[in-house]
Copies of this chain bind each other. A is one copy, B any other.
Amino acid sequence: MFRGISSLTLDSKGRLAVPARHREALARQCQGQLVVTVDYDGCLLLYPLPEWEEIERKLVRLPSFNEHSRRMQRVLLGHASECELDGNGRVLLPPPLRAYANLDKAVVLVGQGNRFEIWDEATWNSRRGEWLAAGVGGGNVPPEIESLSL
């Protein structure tokens, strides 16, 4: 279970150094084999290969002639790139994906259970500000959240 946020900087070649505290888990779970793809909200998603393959299986089974399915397959499958941790615990993020998420130097890596999200740091901070300002109430809040007790 991946959790927690880390503030990181990409090196001059667009490589992201995974924080040491996550490396052991990644080595164990997937021998450093990762998949990066894009998210609809403007960040990148980083999956251990086995986790991604499961999602991929669900994606390719979606009905071929449904407009939403095709879109989702093009966005998610289409951008999915395999990459692996090098000897120094770094992953090279493909230039098109870096461009998509506006990643330059300062980024944050956010643990989200079975995956990580990678955000441009400024984008993350401003989006987080909006989420916090909006609070928990509002539109259509699922009942699971209404009854959630922290």
Contacts and interface: CB of A to CB of B under 8 A. Distances in A.
A38 to B, nearest CB: 9
A96 interface: yes
Contacts of A131: 71, 74-75
B4 A81 contact: yes
| Copies of this chain in its oligomeric complex | 2
User: What bracket does the count of chain A residues touching chain B fall in?
Assistant: 35 or more
Contact of A62 (B128, B132, B136, B145): B145
Nearest to A67: B139
B144 A40 contact: no
A134 B75 CA distance: 12
A20 interface: no
